[in-house]
Structure 1
Amino acid sequence: MSALSATTAATVPAADFVATGTMSPIPAVVGQLGLSDWVAWIAIGTFVAAMALQWSGAVDPARYVAAAAWSVFGVYWLMLVPYYYGHLQSPLETLLALAALPLCLYTAYLLVTGRESLLLLSKAVAFMGLIYLPAETIPVVRTWLIETTAAQTHFGMELLGHSPGLTEGADGYMSKFDFDPEKTVTGRTTYIIMACTGIGSMAIFGGLIAAVNAPLKRKAIAFTSAIGVIWILNLSRNVFIGLASPWGWFQQDVFVYIASDLMGAPVSRTSYLVAHNFIAQTLSIGALLGITYLVVRILPEVLEPLEDVLFVLTGSEYDLAAALGEEGHPGGGAETSRSDQRSAVDSDAASGSDSDDD
């Protein structure tokens, strides 16, 4: 994210956000929501409406409402592209945000044309939003998450021999690591924002786990395991970026060239960009895959929405249970019915006949 302005790097430390966030960077309080926050709430509210319709047995209306929700969700991500590109200077997040709109619109199209199984994925997104958005928009929860994460990150720094102290960041929270700019290499520091709490990743897995039908005990074990791993990895990531930025761990010429000449960032911001935008984000992808595998081993039911994610991305059907060596989805009869339903829809489409979903 963009650095805070500093009159002189030697006397006033510039500060970078430590973040991999997905929601609006504007502190959102009730009555003062940013436009992207409003669009997010509308999308999630529509997902919840679709979930309620499906629960009541109105499956066809649920598909159309869910399709509308996916369309709004895609617009939300498109709205964040300028932020990821201009402020975060994050190529990865910019590309993902750009890809989100066509993928969401394609998901909406699949729902409208009869892919009922996508209602489960839509339900998962509804739960994700219900976990994340209140934390994003309720001030007391937001403050507690940010300041607790900052304190825990500072404790991690102390374990490695650094104790800069905490001071107020640009957003008003006690979340900035108060390194002395005259004693560090770059004169910069970082401060924690909402996205640094790991709540985004927690919401993803929480939504998937909440959406599937499975015994409560296994769902609780899967949720606890995922949250625990995310918490540890997220704090480690914050400590890494929080130390790399002021101490200039990546101020080598090749990285300086990439950050300043290619990305247009100040030279002093190089270590932050390398640590955050390249190393941490790349490792985050691997971490998410690893956590997904852990959750799947405990709760194979989450394979069902994941198979639909892969179908949206590739257009091909996958049997993840077979690929991962699972014996099959618990309640295999339901899974067989879902596959039969897909085949029936495809067969009707091929023969030109109308299905009950049309």
Structure 2
Amino acid sequence: MKDYLVLISCICFLIFLIPGRFRKYFALGGWISIVGYLFLELPYYFSLNNFMYPAIAVLSVPFLYITAKYLLRDDPRVIQISMIAAVAFLIYAPFGYIPALGNWLIAVVTDQTSAALAAVGYPVSLQTWNLMERNGLQTEIILACTGIQSIAIMLGVAWGVQSTLKQKIAGFFIVVPTIYILNIVRNVFVIAAYTEQWFPYLPEIAGNGEFGYESFFWAHNVMAELGALIFLVILAYALFMIVPQLGTLAENLYRLYRGEVERIVRPNAGKTER
């Protein structure tokens, strides 16, 4: 079911790219499907002791409410953020839904990660085309390990607003090589930390019953996630410098969502007593 929600979301956002009077409803369908997917994924994330995505799922509820409210009003700010999501799906879809292309990218990342591990003194053996082993511990490279989601999202940010061809080209060269290379570094760090057992701490919160999982938890679910978040903020700032329209959109969206959240939390704020 959850895989179908991703597909439905993708289809809805791609249809949203086609001008028409009903396009806002397709954008709404896309956002609803994404939020539904996040909640259906909760058991999986809890099994990994990953609490970042469950937190995102909880925060997605007020986001969806506000987005739906203003989408139905044809608010240009929410239309714009939906355009960003649509462009991101347009970039991700070929890799996510054409197995040959997705597997090709996984194979390339696997080979380059393996070569990088060997270069820094942690050689691995390939058990299958995307399964690496070291010290009896195995790590599988899947599509989520290729960085394509982050690349698609940040290119959506760079290309989802009206900008010049020069700005779009500059955005491409800032986003794609940087994220791709840093993702290889991330893979190397996580695999080395896991197979060398660098962080075998607090098994009561970091363990899941598998031998050595604690090191994977701290490296992948905590350090790599926080590092990626910080990096994406820095990358977004760089894009704002190249595409000033993004800065304006970000400020407008911040005011919109903050104002709506404040109205939800404090509905009587600013009202005088009678």
TM-score of the pair, normalised by structure 1: 0.68
Using the TM superposition, give the Cα deviation of residue 236 of structure 1 relative to its aligned residue in structure 2, in angstroms.
0.7
Using the TM superposition, give the Cα deviation of residue 114 of structure 1 relative to its aligned residue in structure 2, in angstroms.
4.5
List per-residue Cα deviations over 1:110-159 (Å, max 9, x = no partner): 22245232111111111111211221121111111111111111111111
Residue 268 of structure 2 corresponds to none
The unaligned stretches of length 5 or more in structure 2 are: 262-274
CA distance in 1 between counterparts of 2:251 and 2:43 reads 31
Residue 38 of structure 1 corresponds to 4
Residue 286 of structure 1 corresponds to 230
Using the TM superposition, give the Cα deviation of residue 211 of structure 1 relative to its aligned residue in structure 2, in angstroms.
1.6
Residue 310 of structure 1 corresponds to 254
2:239 is equivalent to residue 295 of structure 1: yes
Supply the AA of the counterpart residue of 1:176: L
Residue 256 of structure 1 corresponds to 203
> How many residues matched?
261
- Greater share of residues in helix: 2
**Counterpart contact for 2:31–2:64, Cα < 8 Å:** yes
Q: Show the 5 A alignment for 1:112-131.
A: 112-131=72-91
CA distance in 2 between counterparts of 1:107 and 1:234 reads 31
In structure 2, do the counterparts of structure 1 residues 204 and 309 end up closer, same or farther at CA, with 3 Å as the change threshold?
A: farther
**Counterpart contact for 1:146–1:197, Cα < 8 Å:** yes
Q: Show the 5 A alignment for 1:88-99.
A: 88-99=48-59
2:183 is equivalent to residue 234 of structure 1: yes
CA distance in 1 between counterparts of 2:49 and 2:94 reads 27
Q: Which runs of 4+ in 1 moved over 6 A?
A: none
2:108 is equivalent to residue 189 of structure 1: no
2:194 is equivalent to residue 245 of structure 1: yes
2:42 is equivalent to residue 81 of structure 1: yes
Higher relative contact order, chain-length normalized (CA < 8 Å, sep 6+): 1
Q: Show the 5 A alignment for 1:13-32.
A: none
CA distance in 1 between counterparts of 2:32 and 2:184 reads 34
Residue 225 of structure 1 corresponds to 174
In structure 2, do the counterparts of structure 1 residues 82 and 309 end up closer, same or farther at CA, with 3 Å as the change threshold?
A: farther
TM-score of the pair, normalised by structure 2: 0.87
Using the TM superposition, give the Cα deviation of residue 304 of structure 1 relative to its aligned residue in structure 2, in angstroms.
4.1
2:130 is equivalent to residue 175 of structure 1: yes
Q: Counterpart of 1:315 in 2: which secondary structure?
A: helix
Using the TM superposition, give the Cα deviation of residue 270 of structure 1 relative to its aligned residue in structure 2, in angstroms.
0.9
CA distance in 2 between counterparts of 1:91 and 1:153 reads 26
In structure 2, do the counterparts of structure 1 residues 258 and 85 end up closer, same or farther at CA, with 3 Å as the change threshold?
A: closer
| Rg (Cα) greater in structure | 1
Using the TM superposition, give the Cα deviation of residue 176 of structure 1 relative to its aligned residue in structure 2, in angstroms.
1.7
**Counterpart contact for 1:118–1:305, Cα < 8 Å:** no
Supply the AA of the counterpart residue of 1:126: A
In structure 2, do the counterparts of structure 1 residues 214 and 247 end up closer, same or farther at CA, with 3 Å as the change threshold?
A: same
CA distance in 2 between counterparts of 1:202 and 1:72 reads 21
**Counterpart contact for 1:74–1:105, Cα < 8 Å:** no
Supply the AA of the counterpart residue of 2:254: L
Residue 19 of structure 1 corresponds to none
Residue 67 of structure 2 corresponds to 107
Residue 109 of structure 2 corresponds to 149
**Counterpart contact for 1:85–1:91, Cα < 8 Å:** yes
**Counterpart contact for 2:10–2:89, Cα < 8 Å:** yes
**Counterpart contact for 2:49–2:205, Cα < 8 Å:** no
In structure 2, do the counterparts of structure 1 residues 64 and 281 end up closer, same or farther at CA, with 3 Å as the change threshold?
A: same
**Counterpart contact for 2:194–2:213, Cα < 8 Å:** yes
